[in-house]
Structure 1
Amino acid sequence: MAGTIHTDVNAVKATNANAVNKQYTGPLVTVTMLFFMWGFITCLNDILIPKLQQVFTLELWQAMLIQTAFFGAYFIVSLLYFVLSITKGDPIRKIGYKNGIIIGLLVAAIGCALFYPAASMLSYGFFLGALFVLASGITLLQIAANPYVTILGPAESAASRLNLTQALNSLGTTVAPIIGGYLIFGAVDTMQDAGADSVKLPYLGLAAALVAIALIIKISKLPSIQSEGDASIAPDAGALRYRHLVLGIVCIFAYVGGEVAIGSTLINFFILPEIAGLNETQAGHFLAFYWGGAMVGRFFGAVALSNMRNTSYKYLIIAGIAAVVFVLLYTAYGMEEALIALGLIALNFVVLMLGRFIPSKTLGYFAGTVVVLLLLTCFTEGSIAMWSVISIGLFNSIMFPTIFTLAVKDLGVHTSQGSSLLVMAIVGGAIVPPLQGIVADITGNLQLSFLIPLVCYLYIMYYGFSGSKVKEAAI
């Protein structure tokens, strides 16, 4: 899934002089691990939903409360952070970004460890509480880690470093369904009575990994961030005067909600006899195509929307990435899947060209393409419906960073405040998935429930073509 960009402009300026002529490769590699880990952990929710739905015999909307607990933490923790920032000053800046990262890792580790007693007590409420604690830690990581990435090297290459870390985040979401599906559902294939116990060891392992990374961060010589002037966010909430930001907040809500709702439903979708008739483990492999598409598309978007003036070089780099993806898929899955993926990549490239590499237009065309793909998902069957929904990942790829960039454009001193408000909008991932679950339960038709995320992408298309235009008049 996508990571959040929360760049501290003052911190970048204050440390830029110190960054010159320093080698930050080691620290950058260390911090980049965080992006991989929270992408991995977030995508594991897509495995948990069908698993806990089986264990506790839940309706789909009840199982979707997993995403509500997880992404609800983003909203609540970000809101508390925002309130503290405008009243007491930026909390992370006071304790230091390095300490903020460590605290976030340890809180996330506690959340993972709580899965063990939740499984032992066989309590769904306990699971939801553990997910909330886990996501609270990841929210702190998102706020604290991104400013580090921007200062680990020259300012002119900061965007490149952020794209790299976002790609690693997508790598985590790509491998999580495969590894998680094997560890969590694999036990079911050999032990029919495994129940909730199959989640114990995977999440204890994650807790140990998070603690280990916290120790690595602790002993690593990461550069300290020195603030300039007042670290607090302006208490007048002046960012809300900007129409394109307010509409962008709604757009982030719609995007995260739509993306998460689709990903959360795919395993249940793939096991439908009229779609693919897969078992849960097989479905987990194809779920990786959805998130892997987001990773590949993010590389494409990073090249296409970059400041590289020579268009021929852009085409050459994109063709090279496509060739590598084809070879990897051919080796792992065979010719049929590799050719299908290559065809979808070609479609992605055509839409990129249609947008003429202009961020707002590209966003609009990508969202419009997803609307068409969701209609095919709703009203066709078999491989057409299956690959239509899988290919949405390719077009999701550039959406979060593009929406974010468009929303904070020309905010000036209100940029940090606008960033915090955009982080809160990630709560869409807590609200839209249960809505889709309710529609599926009421209608008894999982395919028709994809009309809920379709509404989200219609709004994203509007924002790309019109709502993202910079206007300072308040709504």
Structure 2
Amino acid sequence: MSDNKSNMPALYTLMTVWFFWSFVAASNGILIPLFKEKFELTQTQAQLVDFAFYAAYFVGSWLYLMFSKFTKTDILNKIGYKNGIIIGLVLSALGTLLFYPAAEARSYGLLLSGLFIVGLGFSLQQTATQPFMIALGPPETGALRINMGGAVNNFGGTIGPALVSYAIFGSISAEAAENASIQDVKIPYLILGVLFVTVALFFWISKLPRIKNDEEVEVGNALTFGPLILIAIFVISSLVASIETAIMVSFGVMCLFLIYAMYRGLNSGPLTGNESKVFDYPQALLGMAAIFVYVGVEVTVGSNLGEYLKETQNLDSSQISKYVSLFWGSMMIGRWTAAMPAFNPSATLKKILTWVVPFVAFGIVLFANSLYSGDVSDLYPYALCVVVMILAFIASKEKPVLILLIFTALGALMTLIGVLTTGKLALFSLISGGLFCSVLWPSIFSLGTAGLGKFTNQGSALLIMMILGGSILPVMQGKFSDVMGIQTSYLLATGCFVYLFVFGIVAQRTLRKQGIDFDAEVAKKSIKGGH
């Protein structure tokens, strides 16, 4: 980042929208147990909250690609990344307006529709924002810049559950949970809509650089009609059976895709120079599969936490916010730690900050939750999990692939401990999934879009599309939970971490065959810079 100081104001401006993405996503963890109780839903049905929100990313990215195909131009290249973000914010604001009539009518379907429209806006924002941030500096340090955005993102996720819980319940007690109503959700989300519009106006008057991919952009039939086939399968399954069945069928289809992507990566060779579509690049397929699994595990661990706390800790929906917040705060702890090197501190200062920054972030998590939850001393032992994360980050030496391998291995281990043990050890082990998910997104995104050239925007849209994992995997865990119990259902998270570990190995080997090695580039810069 030291060579691109002139781009820092633009980077800081872009980071503002990251706040809302996690604020809303984390707040879903408060809505799910509330809706389950008030609408008398099963855990599978309650997880449709996440399905509606994250399925919008898939549909939004697909629509973006369809418009690009039929207008024979890349929409974001035409309107610019800045305008894409503004339009996305306005669209999300329109989605929050539905919460008022939905709450008045006590309509679960209309509430889900509002979340879907909010997610559509987020899809466009993310498709525009992340390649924008990568373009503000060298590609090999793009993961660092995305980590900076992620640091802001999960600050929103940290305070979101506490603020939304306070707005809905007012206090922590069995009486507050019992007296809360569906109508209590409308005002918080209307306020959120006002904030979306305010930030859109801020972007409109801001002086962001005009950055786009100036190369010719092509959108192939497989890129647009492949997702259409999945949508058709879902719609037909819904009509013939039920939405739950449709999600299960979609899960089966995506499992086949995960296997195919890994097969392509394992059997890939050097590029020939005749690549005519984005799917000719195995890293794009691998990145899609990894994003699907990564977002799925991140969301499912946090969103099923409310049911886990109810069954194993005997807590009601007004009492879960500090634990949900701790999960999303763990994402912030990890991302603040990973973003710190982007400011290019000296070697000595970096060693100090590597220990100080995560505990400052942990302190913010504790303080934010103490304002609403009061006593948070039961969260203090979680500091041991933070220490494990710090040691893992030091061992990774800031190398994207090594980070991926170490953190996914620890994620698999900790979720397995969470399944096999009880009490606070199990609870904190599961919550620590947030620590070990925290820095995976930028590593996967950078690896999945590396070397795509004129297909970079398409690759970005494809990866954003695979946020679909956040809609399908939580519902599947809900289904497993209804059958085998909530704690055992977390084996799904363990399996996801294992898949991501294998992805890291295969993606690195695939890119090296193309002459791309981010870990080696980071090592060279570290030697030159002396730290």
Q: TM tier, shorter chain?
A: 0.7 to 0.9
Give the aligned partner of residue 4 of structure 1. Answer: none
For the 8 Å contact 1:234–1:417, the answer to whether it is kept is no
Give the aligned partner of residue 93 of structure 1. Answer: 77
Query: Shift in Å at residue 427 of structure 1?
Result: 0.5
Cα separation, 2, equivalents of 1:164 and 1:353: 18
Cα separation, 2, equivalents of 1:234 and 1:205: 41
Give the aligned partner of residue 59 of structure 2. Answer: 76
Query: Shift in Å at residue 311 of structure 1?
Result: 5.7
| SS at 1:228 equivalent | coil
| SS at 1:89 equivalent | coil
| SS at 2:313 equivalent | coil
Query: Structure 2: 5+ residue runs without aligned partners?
Result: 222-274, 515-531
Give the aligned partner of residue 288 of structure 1. Answer: 325
Q: 1:297 aligns with which of 319, 329, 334?
A: 334
Q: 1:321 aligns with which of 357, 362, 365?
A: 357
Check if 1:178 corresponds to 2:215. Answer: no
Cα separation, 2, equivalents of 1:353 and 1:23: 28
Cα separation, 2, equivalents of 1:307 and 1:32: 15
Higher deviation after alignment, 242-251 or 353-362: 353-362
CA deviation string 1:17-57 (max 9, x = no partner): xx9896863x6554432111222112211111111111110
Cα separation, 2, equivalents of 1:325 and 1:41: 20
For the 8 Å contact 2:134–2:145, the answer to whether it is kept is yes
Amino acid at match of 1:131: L
| SS at 1:450 equivalent | helix
Amino acid at match of 1:211: V
For the 8 Å contact 1:247–1:468, the answer to whether it is kept is no
Query: Shift in Å at residue 288 of structure 1?
Result: 1.0
Distance 1:171 1:253, change over 3 A: same
Distance 1:31 1:280, change over 3 A: same
For the 8 Å contact 2:82–2:208, the answer to whether it is kept is yes
Give the aligned partner of residue 358 of structure 1. Answer: 399
For the 8 Å contact 2:296–2:467, the answer to whether it is kept is yes
Distance 1:309 1:410, change over 3 A: farther
Distance 1:237 1:56, change over 3 A: farther
For the 8 Å contact 1:67–1:430, the answer to whether it is kept is yes
Check if 1:378 corresponds to 2:419. Answer: yes
1:410-421 superposed matches below 5 A: 410-421=451-462
1:246-285 superposed matches below 5 A: 246-272=285-311, 275-285=312-322
For the 8 Å contact 1:174–1:291, the answer to whether it is kept is yes
User: Taking structure 1 as the reference length, what is the TM-score of the superposition?
Assistant: 0.85
Give the aligned partner of residue 453 of structure 1. Answer: 493
Cα separation, 2, equivalents of 1:30 and 1:376: 40
Higher deviation after alignment, 412-421 or 307-316: 307-316
Check if 1:240 corresponds to 2:226. Answer: no
Higher deviation after alignment, 69-78 or 400-409: 400-409
Query: Shift in Å at residue 277 of structure 1?
Result: 2.7
Query: Shift in Å at residue 291 of structure 1?
Result: 0.9
Cα separation, 1, equivalents of 2:150 and 2:98: 28
1:314-353 superposed matches below 5 A: 314-325=350-361, 328=364, 332=370, 336-337=377-378, 339-353=380-394
Distance 1:228 1:330, change over 3 A: closer
Check if 1:404 corresponds to 2:440. Answer: no
Amino acid at match of 1:371: A
Amino acid at match of 2:186: K
Give the aligned partner of residue 66 of structure 1. Answer: 49
Cα separation, 1, equivalents of 2:290 and 2:47: 21
Distance 1:198 1:326, change over 3 A: closer
Higher deviation after alignment, 193-202 or 330-339: 330-339
Query: Alignment RMSD, CA only?
Result: 3.1
Cα separation, 1, equivalents of 2:435 and 2:463: 23
Cα separation, 1, equivalents of 2:220 and 2:405: 32
For the 8 Å contact 1:432–1:453, the answer to whether it is kept is no
| SS at 1:35 equivalent | helix
| SS at 2:214 equivalent | coil
Query: Shift in Å at residue 233 of structure 1?
Result: 5.1
Query: Structure 1: 5+ residue runs without aligned partners?
Result: 1-18
Q: 1:435 aligns with which of 476, 492, 502?
A: 476
Give the aligned partner of residue 510 of structure 2. Answer: 470
Give the aligned partner of residue 119 of structure 1. Answer: 103
Amino acid at match of 1:199: V
| SS at 1:425 equivalent | helix
Higher deviation after alignment, 233-242 or 374-383: 233-242
| SS at 2:350 equivalent | helix
User: Taking structure 2 as the reference length, what is the TM-score of the superposition?
Assistant: 0.77
Distance 1:294 1:153, change over 3 A: same
Query: Shift in Å at residue 150 of structure 1?
Result: 5.4
For the 8 Å contact 1:93–1:231, the answer to whether it is kept is no
Higher deviation after alignment, 30-39 or 185-194: 185-194
Distance 1:375 1:109, change over 3 A: same
Cα separation, 2, equivalents of 1:102 and 1:85: 18
Higher deviation after alignment, 207-216 or 336-345: 336-345
Distance 1:189 1:355, change over 3 A: same
For the 8 Å contact 1:101–1:145, the answer to whether it is kept is yes
CA deviation string 1:375-434 (max 9, x = no partner): 122121111111111111111111111111122233333333322221111101111011
Higher deviation after alignment, 331-340 or 404-413: 331-340
Cα separation, 1, equivalents of 2:136 and 2:100: 37
Give the aligned partner of residue 8 of structure 1. Answer: none
| SS at 1:58 equivalent | coil
Distance 1:189 1:376, change over 3 A: same
Cα separation, 2, equivalents of 1:326 and 1:103: 34
Amino acid at match of 1:133: I
Amino acid at match of 1:395: F
For the 8 Å contact 1:330–1:337, the answer to whether it is kept is no
Give the aligned partner of residue 135 of structure 1. Answer: 119
Cα separation, 1, equivalents of 2:152 and 2:394: 25
Amino acid at match of 1:277: N
Cα separation, 2, equivalents of 1:335 and 1:427: 34
For the 8 Å contact 1:150–1:158, the answer to whether it is kept is yes
